[in-house]
Structure 1
């Protein structure tokens, strides 16, 4: 078993603090004697007992859950450690203080010392055992929560992929009847786009650069149908290219901008997708992803039936994925964009520092 020296240091410091507390209690009952005497005995016995038990447990097969020896060794080790720690620590303290605890004069105090050692040793061994068990349970809870979060994200993504596919097929169907040549070109682009998108979406996160590349593919696909009515700009700083984000996070926002912003206008419009950072609360850096368009705008857009494809499903998915990943720290805002159009903004804490 690999020894965690930082953990050992922490346990040693806790043991020393406990020993000083015990010696303080002893001194409170016997203030006629100098404090350094009970402190010396307490520190010597406690430190030696800790070393025997904490290092001795590595000699036995230990439970993966608690890091404590299995079976009879789990009971025998602290017992032997307390006995040997008491004997060795008492001899060491006797030598240091220049007295003998084993002569007739010290036997009355010896019985009290033995009782204190047994009680204190049992208490601190039990404390370390419970502390280790609690740490393991906390780690398991964190692992289970992480697995549940990942499962929730995969569920949301499996719902989003067919939604994106159906929207694309609906666009293709509209073009087949009016321009078969462009429909063929759009079909070829759609096959290549779906192959790349569905392959990339099998993981819960990918670099922001990949997300922008998928958006570029999708916008080129839409440009086949809309022609000069669709223009776009993708603004991704070099320092943010490797920042991890969930796949298809921005896709619903771009689809929404085209469907409700640009398509209702005869002249179409321009879509801008931008990534940037900003300072958050307590000095924490936030990632800001914004999709804005020069389309019809929130108030000017005609009402759409709730059952129409793409009306609210994609935006709902964005909100749910942000809540699953970041809780209240993940924010999604939809607002009017000056001088016209709509702006959709996603904000959440950066998990890694920009390059």
Structure 2
């Protein structure tokens, strides 16, 4: 904020308010002296507009020099009080001089009688208007400061989300890359075409993840595409042991969600679920839009004797919980449970599409 008239909006508010105050002063002059409205308006409007700019800029810079958060209340009141008294006196003196100029015109519609009551009224009104101007500037300054703090908080939040996404990328199981490269190496001698296809899938997967940004959102379709790429690579390694089932509601496909929110859940399902089953198992991904809510679940088979609370198994889940809490607050949630030989994680978040956002 560089001044009280630094924007068109402030100017649009400033001028009408002071013009109305000029009309009020003209009415008071008419009541105090019995002068005609032409005489009162010719005196009051120029006086008020001159005082508007003089008092407005003076109060603004004093408010900037004595911020509420850094100066004592007593010193602020003292400085602004003295400034208001001086401004009121100068305004009254300027009024006497201006009325003298109008009176020198020697025409009936210009000039006023200046009794002591009118002089005192102009002085008192000048003091009050200066004080009100200072209050208005303090409110504007505090509003700007609050808006700047909110903007900084939002920027910090976005930076934190970006850091979380970078951390999530580093948490993608390194063994996934190593195993993929080993599988590619094995395929090159027996099935070169398939090895090339798998190489392209690995490259596309990592290119996609590196291009994601935390402050943008992906659609459910985008997330499912990323999951398909991931699972198609894992399927080369697991072969027939890994079965995948998708059940995506059409209304859910265009809903928005944080990028890479499903990948750690699917990775856990493969690593801690299917990876522990000799005969393999099924990973099911279900997405439904339920009115204002989007529900997505990842379910996988697990060994009946497997401990799903193994160290490291909950890192991806905790990351997802934290990201949903950051993005949606109490509106987002994660539930996970094991029933029989099935382990299920369900995400609940607001159902919003690009057009609805």
**TM-score where L is the length of structure 1:** 0.63
Q: Which residues of structure 1 form unaligned runs of 5+?
A: 27-36, 67-74, 92-98, 280-285
Out of 238, 244, 253, the position equivalent to 1:226 is 238
CA contact (8 A) 1:12 1:47 kept: no
Out of 297, 322, 343, the position equivalent to 1:291 is 297
Q: Which residue of 1 aligns with 2:223?
A: 211
Q: Which residue of 1 aligns with 2:323?
A: 321
- Three-state SS of the structure 2 residue aligned to 1:247 is coil
Separation (CA, whole Å) in 2 of partners of 1:124 and 1:114: 15
Deviations 1:220-241 (A, max 9, x none): 1122223343122162636753
- Three-state SS of the structure 2 residue aligned to 1:139 is helix
Q: Which residue of 2 aligns with 1:149?
A: 157
Separation (CA, whole Å) in 2 of partners of 1:262 and 1:346: 24
Deviations 1:259-286 (A, max 9, x none): 334444425114124152533xxxxxx4
Distance 1:184 1:143, change over 3 A: same
How far the C-alpha of 1:217 sits from its partner, in A, is 1.0
Separation (CA, whole Å) in 1 of partners of 2:110 and 2:315: 82
Separation (CA, whole Å) in 1 of partners of 2:202 and 2:285: 25
Map 1:1-355 → 2, pairs under 5 A: 48-49=48-49, 52-53=52-53, 83=91, 102-103=112-113, 107-169=115-177, 171-172=179-180, 184=195, 188-189=199-200, 191-202=202-213, 204-208=215-219, 209-228=221-240, 229-233=242-246, 235=248, 237=250, 241=254, 243=256, 245-265=257-277, 266-274=279-287, 276=289, 278-279=291-292, 286=293, 288-296=294-302, 300=304, 302-303=306-307, 306-307=310-311, 311-336=313-338, 340-348=342-350, 350=352, 353-354=355-356
Larger radius of gyration: 2
Q: Which residue of 1 aligns with 2:102?
A: none
How far the C-alpha of 1:120 sits from its partner, in A, is 1.8
Separation (CA, whole Å) in 2 of partners of 1:4 and 1:236: 49
Separation (CA, whole Å) in 1 of partners of 2:356 and 2:341: 32
Count residues in correspondence.
Answer: 303
How far the C-alpha of 1:332 sits from its partner, in A, is 2.0
**RMSD of the TM alignment (CA)?**
5.2
**TM-score where L is the length of structure 2:** 0.63
Separation (CA, whole Å) in 1 of partners of 2:335 and 2:24: 55
How far the C-alpha of 1:83 sits from its partner, in A, is 3.9
CA contact (8 A) 1:292 1:343 kept: yes
